[in-house]
A and B are shown apart, each in its own frame.
Chain A
Amino acid sequence: NAGVTQTPKFQVLKTGQSMTLQCAQDMNHEYMSWYRQDPGMGLRLIHYSVGAGITDQGEVPNGYNVSRSTTEDFPLRLLSAAPSQTSVYFCASSRTEWNEQFFGPGTRLTVL
């Protein structure tokens, strides 16, 4: 099993550009989530999904969209990148929200 995979590993964007961060898992987990990690601020929940077709907002959803058309994939879209979105982004999946979350390797995003 590959576990949770994320692409790309690194990305540099200019202000105003859009892009999609990809996340996939092969563990048949229902629960998936996106976090951003900034120095001194821990992991902040952006969006989450409890199953295909169901998504909801986390703590810091502004500027991001998600969709969940399949159990395996949970892409995160940046609509119009801003320097404040410079961060490391982690995708995670788990059987339910009360089980161990398995994190992907992360995407380091820089917005100039």
Chain B
Amino acid sequence: GENVEQHPSTLSVQEGDSAVIKCTYSDSASNYFPWYKQELGKRPQLIIDIRSNVGEKKDQRIAVTLNKTAKHFSLHITETQPEDSAVYFCAASLSYKLIFGSGTRLLVRP
């Protein structure tokens, strides 16, 4: 089955700096890669996603890149703000199953 590794587990940045979270997946047939943000005590919510036929996608301060050859994808947050502090999860979809990484706790220091 699919396995998703996510790094780092924790990330602390200064407000205004960029943050990068990386994920690798094991099955080259995976074809959909979403990113979810979860604030403390809340439910996960989608922030951006990318399909396997696209290499990069941007939405304001957030971007995701996908390297199918290397089987890894990354989340980039620019100009970080304190409200970006949360846990971020990557995921990969294969054969109807969405498999999540173990999460990255992002802390943005004001």
Contacts and interface: CB of A to CB of B under 8 A. Distances in A.
B65 to A, nearest CB: 19
B43 A97 contact: no
Given A42-B89, A43-B89, A90 B43 contact: yes
A97 B44 contact: no
Contacts of B99: 45, 59
Contacts of A105: 43
A66 B6 CA distance: 29
Contacts of B101: 42
Contacts of A74: none
A26 interface: no
Contacts, number: 53
B102 interface: yes
Interface residues of A, number: 23
B44 A45 contact: no
A90 B44 contact: yes
Interface in B82-102: 89, 91, 93, 96-102
A40 B89 CA distance: 11
Interface in B51-110: 51, 89, 91, 93, 96-103
